[in-house]
Chain A
């Protein structure tokens, strides 16, 4: 069975700092895979290597059967590899409807058309609205993003990623910064994600990790420390050593 996403021997150095060291990683189809590790372990760097924001020094990244090690970021997205950001990376003066419609236009490959009016693509806008409704953002669909509360913005962050119809979804700390009372909808949205999408998420909140993950990888100082089912990882002494006291909110 070909993995949805895989890396072999992925390495990267920034000057003298080795931020990724021979990382072998496999994400099967339909995975719910958590990536955990202390601060500075290189988790976000790893995502950046996967999405093409930075180039590795050595190693390979494959999406399904395709080698994407040096492919441009937007090409990877077209092939179904989508990420969200730890800190919301949204479009402040757009409404959610505009942002999601734009993403759908990209997905459909018509975003380059400069002489065709948006009114001719009503179906795409309606798909966008339907997605927003499903996420509970229907009422705010035409409010400017900058005026939405942070939790709603976080939902939009995921919504934009979903609009791209990913086959592999990389969530960078999806619950980060979301206040307790707003995280409910977010968690619902995450659990409702389609089963055939392969998902890898970085999280510090161990409650979330054990709730959603069926497999965990522990990354320390750019290297994979261990990998396995949640119960194994929880029992692993090395992990506990590295992670003293992190069962509370990180």
Chain B
């Protein structure tokens, strides 16, 4: 897209809120009133969207494949649960605490990750995820093992209890989702975000322009981990329960698929992907649960073959084509 009138302005303007983006959040708020009986699903979509967003930061913007991202989600989930069980039931501070713990883990893991490439990196991220998963399983006096942990939370801001209809949970999740998106938005449109994407585009060149990538990658890993931990903590708090499905390879793989489905590097790919995936799975689970995997697998193969930029990428391409056709036809 050539902006011949004001290239610099055009370049800088892309960090502004676009109408479609505002629409998304209007819809999120509207859904509260339009789908009052689907709020539990709605919360889940928003929470998983935050989780997918955190992976997008690493993968879509940074080009770092992680097959073990659930390690941070799970850490946040269990941290939030344990904080409450050990007496601190205030939700918001507990949630922040869980995110910080996950973030610290991500920062420490960063020291390992920056030293590896290619297959070794893939394996270490996979191994790391499995490690945390096994740890959760083994330490079952703390984590409750396969039974999981139940807990209760004090009302949010002193007033709002987590009700059965999921109203409080939805608003709670939506608020944090908005915060998460604003936060990540800021990051990807900062000089740091630019260098992160530069790393994705050409990892080897970054050192040659003077970028100390090791420290930057550790930071982005920590931030992504904290966000994933936030999502995990949210899930625990809204369900008052945490179990082994918060960690584990399926959790890592599902989110990877969602992000690819929606389109990486476009901020909202995770949300779109989460929506399509979770709603789709709901629909299929009613019809034919075991064949969900077949269609999911097929979808993945088709995306890789024909639409590697995901749904949002496909929409972008379509819009570009329409624009070109309009230019050609006077």
Residues of A within 8 A of B (CB): 51, 72-74, 77-78, 82-83, 85, 89-95, 97-99, 101-103, 105-107, 110-119, 121-122, 125-126, 128-129, 138-139, 141-143, 160, 163-164
Q: How far is the CA of A90 from the CA of B203 in the complex (A)?
A: 10
Residue B281 CB within 8 A of the other chain: no
Q: Are B192 and A112 in contact, with the CB atoms below 8 A? A: yes
Residues of B within 8 A of A (CB): 1-4, 7-8, 10-13, 15, 186-187, 189-195, 197-198, 201-202, 204-213, 215-216, 219, 223
Chain B residues in 8 Å Cβ range of A82 = 208-209
3 closest pairs, A vs B, by CB? A77-B210, A114-B192, A91-B201
Known contacts A74-B213, A112-B192, A114-B192: does B12 contact A122 (CB below 8 Å)? yes
Picked from A77, A89, A98, the residue with its CB within 8 Å of the CB of B194 is A98
Q: Are A89 and B204 in contact, with the CB atoms below 8 A? A: yes
Chain B residues in 8 Å Cβ range of A93 = 201
B28 to chain A, nearest CB (A): 24
B207 to chain A, nearest CB (A): 4
Picked from B12, B189, B201, B204, the residue with its CB within 8 Å of the CB of A125 is B12
Chain A residues in 8 Å Cβ range of B12 = 118-119, 122, 125
* CB-CB nearest in chain B for A112: B192
B38 to chain A, nearest CB (A): 35
Chain A residues in 8 Å Cβ range of B208 = 51, 73-74, 77, 82-83, 89
Chain A residues in 8 Å Cβ range of B197 = 94
* CB-CB nearest in chain B for A123: B8
Picked from A73, A89, A114, the residue with its CB within 8 Å of the CB of B219 is A114
Q: How far is the CA of A117 from the CA of B215 in the complex (A)?
A: 20
Q: How far is the CA of A121 from the CA of B190 in the complex (A)?
A: 10
Chain B residues in 8 Å Cβ range of A51 = 208
B11 to chain A, nearest CB (A): 5
Known contacts A89-B202, A122-B12: does B209 contact A113 (CB below 8 Å)? no
Q: How far is the CA of A42 from the CA of B29 in the complex (A)?
A: 64
Q: Are A112 and B213 in contact, with the CB atoms below 8 A? A: no
Chain B residues in 8 Å Cβ range of A99 = 198
B264 to chain A, nearest CB (A): 12
B198 to chain A, nearest CB (A): 5
Q: How far is the CA of A139 from the CA of B3 in the complex (A)?
A: 9
Q: Are A141 and B7 in contact, with the CB atoms below 8 A? A: yes
Q: How far is the CA of A182 from the CA of B13 in the complex (A)?
A: 33
Cβ contacts A to B, 25 pairs, < 8 Å: A74-B208, A74-B213, A90-B202, A92-B201, A92-B202, A94-B197, A94-B201, A95-B11, A102-B191, A102-B195, A103-B210, A111-B194, A113-B190, A116-B190, A117-B186, A117-B190, A118-B194, A119-B12, A122-B8, A122-B12, A129-B7, A142-B1, A142-B3, A160-B209, A164-B210
Q: How far is the CA of A95 from the CA of B12 in the complex (A)?
A: 13
Q: Are B186 and A91 in contact, with the CB atoms below 8 A? A: no
Chain A residues in 8 Å Cβ range of B2 = 139, 142-143
* CB-CB nearest in chain B for A108: B191
Q: Are B11 and A164 in contact, with the CB atoms below 8 A? A: no
Q: Are A121 and B191 in contact, with the CB atoms below 8 A? A: yes
Chain A residues in 8 Å Cβ range of B187 = 114-115
Chain A residues in 8 Å Cβ range of B3 = 142
Q: Are B15 and A117 in contact, with the CB atoms below 8 A? A: yes
B297 to chain A, nearest CB (A): 28
A165 to chain B, nearest CB (A): 10
Picked from A115, A126, A141, the residue with its CB within 8 Å of the CB of B186 is A115
Q: Are A114 and B210 in contact, with the CB atoms below 8 A? A: no
Q: Are B11 and A91 in contact, with the CB atoms below 8 A? A: no
Picked from B4, B189, B202, B207, the residue with its CB within 8 Å of the CB of A74 is B207
